[in-house]
Structures are given as structure tokens and as C-alpha cells.
Structure 1
């Protein structure tokens, strides 16, 4: 069955018969039309004796849709926002991002100032499509921008363009068909068990505690700095409720969470012992174990850990893998979980990722199993 499509959004007319389109004007079968109504539902009508009558009906339906208040409001939004420059649009969009923490706002501003504004600040919003976005990614690749930064810049551009798409500026998603930058998780250097055992003992008590919290419970750096003995809610469960915000230097909500949110994570026995031993030896302030050594009323500062990490590396007394960072302790947690067949959905929740897609993209290569392994397992169930 052949169909003829008119201008975008108007619909199609056709004949449901065996005759080719070239014979439609002479065959006796009636014309039919197909279109979408204002609610997006596909409608089919029949009984049109001529092609002109079928077209006239499609034009009638199309004009009726265009003249609805909803269509008129959409046209007004397209005219208003489509001609707006990217920089002006983002300024308005940022005002709606009230959920962002001060640290997240600082990160957003850095991506805008260093990557998105130089590429798009004066561009009209209506001119974005998949080719423009793909060219932006290719430019970052040519300029040697790190894969992590590429991914973050793309995510922010994606959020902005999807917001514009919801306003109706684009008929089609401008990100359709774009291959996003892929963070190469294999570059995340993860210490072996033996290396971890040596490294965690190479620093002072504070270094040992933070290393255990990150490698044993999956805490982020700032979450480990805010460790509180009162957050041991069971012998094997630690509740994360906050982090030390390195921008404001105060306690604040966890990343991607509201102020009253929390997440429970597994608490291995050796990590619980580290917490309890540290508290017994050094004491606590309102339950907090780590404090600023210059003023115990203030939270722990991350630069203190970084200075100690650099001293350990410089001393060369322990085997530290090339390229390893403090964050590799957290990578070890993910590796340890996935290597022991713990479901990735659980790992994503414990690590505080916004979605399991982030966990999968970052740690897919650490998951046990392969196509050949799957074939062997499936073969067992089919063997006769």
C-alpha cells in the first residue's frame, strides 16, 4: 500500500488497494486519509472519492489544529525562545535550577564559562540540531578535553536542550542520533587488595579512617570527611546523611540529594572497628570524628588529606599504582562489590549515583561475565 505525505504535520492520503499510485486517478477505490489529532492520537478517515477531497479534508484538520489555543501558545513560545541566544536562555534556565548545591553551581558555571559559552553563547536556540551537538563533541575531542569533562559538558548541554525541546522549540529531539562522549572507565586506576592494605596503613589515623570509609563503604571524599559515629544505625549499616562541602566549607546535603535525605550503605566489620577505634582514641564533637585541626568547631578540610596523599606518594615506601588518586579508594569499593556478583542496582544505590546508567557506564568492565561465559551457562540449561 502506497501513501503520499503532505507537509510535515498535515498527514497522508492513500488507497488501500492493489493498484499502483500512478493508477489511483483511474481506479474505482476510495481514498483514505491518516493524521494525528490535537492529542497526538492517530486518526484514519475514508470515503473520499477524489484526491482533491482527501487533501481538502487534511487541510481542514491541519488548519483546525493550528488555530487551537494550545497550538497558538506553542507558536508564541517558539517565536520567543527560538530566537533567543543561548547565553540569554541559559541565564533564565539557571534560575530554575534551585535544587543545585553551591558546589554544583560552581561546577556548572565552570563548564559554561570554559566550554559551552565559548561554543554557543551567541547561537540562536532554534538552530540547534544533532549535527551542531555532534560537532561540539568532536571539537572537544580535537582540543584534547578530558573524557570526564567532555561527558559533564555534554550532560549540561543535554539538560538545556531538552528543556528547550519541552517548550516546543524543536519538532524533534536535537540529541537524537548523537553519540555522547564515553568515559573510559578502564582509565580509573584501582589498587589491588595487597596494594590497598599497604596504602591505607601508610598515613596517619585520619588517612586510614578515610581510606576505609571510601574503599569499604563507597563513600565520596566529602561524605567521609563528615563521618559521624551516631550514623552507625546497625552493626553492619552506616547511614550517610551529609557531606563536607568544599566550596562553603560547611556540612551540606549529599550530592544529588535534598537536605533531609540519606542513604544506607553496608558497613564491613573492619570499617566499623576503624570508626570506633578512632573515636575512642581521638574523641568526637557532636558525634563527628574528623575536625579541622586548627579549629575543632569547623569541619575537616580536604586539602589536609591531599597533602598527606602527596607525601605518601613522594616517599615511595608503598606500591601505589601509576595514575591512582584518592578517589580510587571508592573505585575499589565498586570493583569489590561487582566482582562478588552484588547486583549493580544495589551498588548504584550505595554509591549515590543518580541512576544505574552512571554506574553501568563507569564500571561495566568490572562486572563478571562475558558473551562466551553466557553461552556456557545457557548451554548447561539446554543440554540433553
Structure 2
């Protein structure tokens, strides 16, 4: 079955017979037309004896659809919002997000400020397409933006552009076919044991304690900043209960956990001694060790450690592998566990991942030779 296209959006006509289109004018079969009705559903009509009648009907349907109240309204929306700048459109969109929690709104505003506005603030809404979105993701990767931040920016952008798509600004969603930011194992730079020892002695005591917690217990940055001596539930177990939210600068529930949920992680003796030594030296506030230096009643903000990390790297006095970010200390914990034969299911629980597949995707490359080792064991079994 062949078909012939008309003006874009008008539809097409064809014959349900074996004759090529070059023979349609002479074959006796009737024409069928196909078009989208006012509600967007694909519709077919048949019984047209000539090509001119088929085209005439398509034109009639097309113009009726274009002049329908729904189409006129859509055209008005495109005119109003298509030329609107991203920043202005987003301000309107935010007004409709009242159902979101205060924490979610703060995170959204942080993502807009730090990632989306620098890239798109003045861009006209009608000019977004998949190439624009792809270029944005590529630029974040090139600038070394963390995967979590990339993902948050992608999700927020997708939500906003989907809202615009529902208004009819785009024929196809600008997100169609765009692959979300992906974790690249090659970008997970992990320090060696000597390099870790060097990093653990850099910076001030606050930085050193965070380095101990991330590399020794696998805590995320914000979880380490919320360290509390009361969470040592056994000599070898630390209970992770909360984290310092980067946007709100306050204590919040754990990632992928409901309020008051926790996870227990192994507590190496060295890390426990680091916690106790810091508490003995500087004291605690309701058990919390790290506080805002300007107001000890508040949690310690993220920038305290990130600023130190930049200074440590810039000093050139510490052996830090090229491309390593602070999160590499947490990667070291996973590497240390897996290389010592600890089951990946346990590591997934301790890392706080939603499921073991995430852990496998992130850290499969940290199990070198596992297939070869399995082949050796199978050979031994077969030779028995």
C-alpha cells in the first residue's frame, strides 16, 4: 500500500490495492484518506472515486480543524508562550507547584539557579528541541557536573518542557529520544590506599573527619556532615539516620528513605576512633559533631567542605588522582568492600541504593577478574 502526502498536517490518501501509485488514476479501486481529527485521533474515510475528491475532503477537514475553537485556542497559547523566555515561563510554572513540599521546592529553585537558568534563562520556549537538550547534557558532562546534579537538572527540565508540550508548544516533545544522564564507570576516579592516606591527613579536623566517614563507612557527603556520636549503636555499627540537605542547609530524611527510616553500616575501628577523638576535642551539640561555624545551633553547610576540597586539590601538596571528586571517597568504600569479597547485596544496603541493580551498574567494574575467577573455579569442579 503506497500513500501520497499533502501539506504537512493535512493527511494522506492511498488505495488498498496492489497497484503502484502510478497506476491509481486508471485502476478501479476507490481512494481512502487518513488524517487526524480535532482531538488528535487518527481517522480514515474511504469511498472516494477520484484523487481530486480525496484531496478535496482532506482540505475540507484540515481547514475545519484549523478554524475550530480548540485549534484557535492552541494557536493563542503558542503565540503567548512560544516567545516567552524560559525564566519567565518557569516563574509561572512554579506558581502551580504549591502541592510540592518546601524541601522539594527549595531543591527545584537550587537546580534552576545553578544549572538551568545559566543555560536557558533567556531562551524562547518555542525554540527547544531534542538537540538543545542533548547539547545541555553534553555541556554538563564536559564541565564535570556530578551525576546526581545532572539527573536533577534533567528531571526538572523534562518536567517544565512537558508542561509546555501539553500546552501545544511543540509537535513532538523536546525530550523525545533524549537519553537521560548516564553513570560512566570510567569517570569514577578512586584513590589508591596511599593516596587515601594522604587525603585523610589534608585539610583541617572537620575535613579529615568527613574523609574518614565517607571512605570508612561509605556515607554520602550530606550524611557525613550529619554525623552524630549517638548513632554509634555498637562498636562496629554506625546508624545513618539523616543528612544535611544541600538546598535547605538543614537536617533531612535520607535519600530513598521515608522520615525516621535508617540504615546500619559497618563502622571500622579507625573511623570510630576518629569520631570519638573529634567529640572529645571539640564537644558535641545534642550529639552532632559538625556544626555551622557561625552559629552552632545550625547544621554545617556543604560549602565548608567543598571549599576545603578545592583548596586541597589546588595546593598540589596532596597526591590526588586526576579527575577525582570528593565523592571518590565513597567510591573507595565500595571498592574496598567488593575487592575483599563482600557480597554486592550487602554493599547495596550499606550504600543506601534503591536496589542492587544500581550498585551493580555503578560498581561492576570494581570487581576485576570475577568472570575469570569463576571460570577457574568451574574448571576445578569439572576436573574433579
Q: Where does residue 23 of structure 1 map in the other structure?
A: 23
Could you tell me how far 1:180 is from its partner in structure 2? 7.6
- Is residue 148 of structure 1 aligned with residue 148 of structure 2? no
Could you tell me how far 1:2 is from its partner in structure 2? 0.5
Q: Where does residue 331 of structure 1 map in the other structure?
A: 331
How far, CA to CA, are the matches of 2:189 and 2:144 in structure 1?
15
Could you tell me how far 1:264 is from its partner in structure 2? 4.0
Could you tell me how far 1:84 is from its partner in structure 2? 2.0
Q: 1:321 to 1:108 in 2, by over 3 A?
A: same
How far, CA to CA, are the matches of 1:345 and 1:8 in structure 2?
55
Q: Which runs of 5+ in 2 are unaligned?
A: 380-384
Q: Where does residue 173 of structure 2 map in the other structure?
A: 173
SS at match of 2:352: helix
How far, CA to CA, are the matches of 1:265 and 1:53 in structure 2?
71
- Is residue 242 of structure 1 aligned with residue 239 of structure 2? no
SS at match of 1:267: strand
Bigger Cα displacement from structure 2, 232-241 vs 29-38? 232-241
Structure 2 counterparts to residues 274-293 of structure 1, below 5 A: 277=276, 281=280, 284-292=284-292
How far, CA to CA, are the matches of 2:127 and 2:314 in structure 1?
50
SS at match of 1:170: coil
**Does structure 2 conserve the Cα–Cα contact (< 8 Å) formed by 1:85 and 1:124?**
yes
Could you tell me how far 1:82 is from its partner in structure 2? 1.2
Q: Where does residue 33 of structure 1 map in the other structure?
A: 33
**Does structure 1 conserve the Cα–Cα contact (< 8 Å) formed by 2:12 and 2:34?**
yes
Structure 2 counterparts to residues 87-106 of structure 1, below 5 A: 87-96=87-96, 100=104, 102=106, 105-106=109-110
Q: Where does residue 253 of structure 1 map in the other structure?
A: 252
Bigger Cα displacement from structure 2, 34-43 vs 79-88? 34-43
**Does structure 2 conserve the Cα–Cα contact (< 8 Å) formed by 1:4 and 1:13?**
yes
**Does structure 1 conserve the Cα–Cα contact (< 8 Å) formed by 2:38 and 2:65?**
yes
Q: 1:349 to 1:164 in 2, by over 3 A?
A: farther
Could you tell me how far 1:233 is from its partner in structure 2? 8.2
Q: 1:6 to 1:264 in 2, by over 3 A?
A: farther
Could you state the TM-score of these two structures normalised by the residue count of structure 1?
0.68
Q: Which runs of 5+ in 1 are unaligned?
A: none
Q: Where does residue 79 of structure 1 map in the other structure?
A: 79
Equivalent residue in structure 2 for 1:108, among 102, 105, 112:
112
Equivalent residue in structure 2 for 1:270, among 268, 271, 277:
268
Could you tell me how far 1:265 is from its partner in structure 2? 4.0
